[in-house]
Amino acid sequence: MQQPAFFGGTYDEAMTLMVEARNYMSYVEERERRKVEAIAGLRMSCEAMRVTSRLTQVMAWLMMQRAVHEGEIDSTAALAEPNRLSGFEVCLDHSFGADENLPTGLRSLLERSLRLYQRIARLENQMLQRLN
């Protein structure tokens, strides 16, 4: 079965963002965190975890959609509560936008992961509305 139009580009975007986030957190974040005071470093760590949470949620949702289109699970089961996007309280928080002290690279990852998460949440809501 052919994947829906949104899937390929969104999956590629999510994977690219995951690789970029991994590289940032592996090679850049620790160095940047050492340059700032403890509280700012803690904030950076928390926001890096927020990026990870968003991307993990998005990838889990996309993999569930892939399973639907491969015939491994039906769309009703994929949209059951345990299989839906979650972590809204953490993932939709965008208070980082006002924090000019966060490094540019981290802010970029935060902004892009938020937009991706919001887009997936809208897609899921559209699917749920069609199901009802």
Token pair for 96: 């980082």
Supply the mean pLDDT for the chain. 90
- Phi, psi for 113 (deg, rounded to 5): -70, -35
Higher pLDDT, 39 or 83: 83
- Per-residue pLDDT band at 65 (split at 50, 70, 90): very high
Averaged over 68-83, what is the pLDDT? 93
| Residues composing the chain | 132
Averaged over 25-41, what is the pLDDT? 85
| DSSP code at position 87 | -
- Per-residue pLDDT band at 6 (split at 50, 70, 90): low
Give the model confidence (pLDDT) of 10-20 as tens digits: 999 999 999 99
- Superfamily for domain range 5-131: Protein of unknown function DUF1465 (1.10.8.930)
Confidence (pLDDT) at 124: 95
Task: Find out whether 79 and 128 touch, Cβ atoms under 8 Å.
Answer: yes
Q: Quickly list H helices, 1-132.
A: 5-23, 29-34, 38-69, 75-78, 88-91, 104-131
